[in-house]
Amino acid sequence: MNILVTGAAGFVGSHIADLAIEEGYKVYGIDNFSTGRKENINPKCDFIESDIRDFDYASLGKLDGIFHTAALARIQPSWVSPISYESVNVSGTLCIIRAALDNDAKLVFSSSSSVYGVKGRLSAPMDEKYPLNPSSPYALQKLFCENYLELFHDVKGLKYVALRYFNVYGPRQKPNGAYAAVVGIFLDQYKKNTNFTIYGNGLQRRDFTFVKDVARANLLAFESDKEEGIY
């Protein structure tokens, strides 16, 4: 089976590509290196350097599945550059939806737990029925994409699964930069034998998901009989 991984040079996308190759799939990867890194690319991946908004997907031939991880990520910078974020995250996803429909391919979309927002949290754990309250441009864009997936399923028969990730961590996570995730920061501080930077009283609790578990969840979503759903 032929699959495409968008953001194949990125953190989550590269792990999905690795696992899919290990499972025997023919894997195409696409990335424009806006955040991805060449060293993340599996040598057995048929890789294309391109922007998801401009690429001619018909040139790949018949695709059976698409794993869409390409995005401008992080909540804070989406406030700084909401227009460019909208273009990549929403318009880019529409391009991928069109490619999936053209191929009758199943689309596995990387959504985000940020769609639940930060206000009015009632209790933990959250589930799919938990109230949605996106409180950033990035979160709202992910919710728009979920709505588009549902719409194109209902009207055009798009096969899709959307997965709302909670704080993914693991190998290839960037340990530095203004918007680095906390686990990467802690690991970098540990390696440098410096104190961990903790704000508040240190009793905060968050959910974290190992990146290889996320990759496995993507493959299971693709291989399942489910043809629509948000999890």
Catalytic residues: 138
List of residues 6+ apart from 167 with CB closer than 8 A? 113, 181, 182, 183, 206, 207, 208, 209
Structure token pair of residue 224: 């399942």
Strand order across the beta sheet in which 46-49 lies: 46-49, 26-31, 2-6, 65-68, 106-112, 159-165
List of residues 6+ apart from 212 with CB closer than 8 A? 15, 19, 170
Task: Tell me the backbone φ, ψ of residue 77, rounded to 5 degrees.
Answer: -70, -15
- Stated as kind and residue range, the H or E segment containing 147 is helix 137-156
